[in-house]
Amino acid sequence: MEATRICLVRHGETSWNAEKRIQGNIDVGLNEAGLAQAEAAA
């Protein structure tokens, strides 16, 4: 029987994350750091 591998990945950083702003329904794009995080996760 093969083991199942589960990987949890959180979203990358946005400019609002960096400013410690609360996010809700607005879709804020990734900043440079977030894009680098997404690329590293891929």
Digit-coded pLDDT (tens) for 20-42: 998 788 888 999 999 999 999 98
* Residues in contact with 37: Cβ distance below 8 Å, sequence separation at least 6, in sequence order: 12, 13, 30
Residue 14 φ/ψ, nearest 5 degrees? -110, 170
Tell me if the pTM is above 0.85.
no
Residue 11 is inside which H or E element, if any? none
Q: Is the pLDDT of residue 14 over 90?
A: yes
Q: What CA–CA distance (Å, rounded) separates 27 from 10?
A: 15
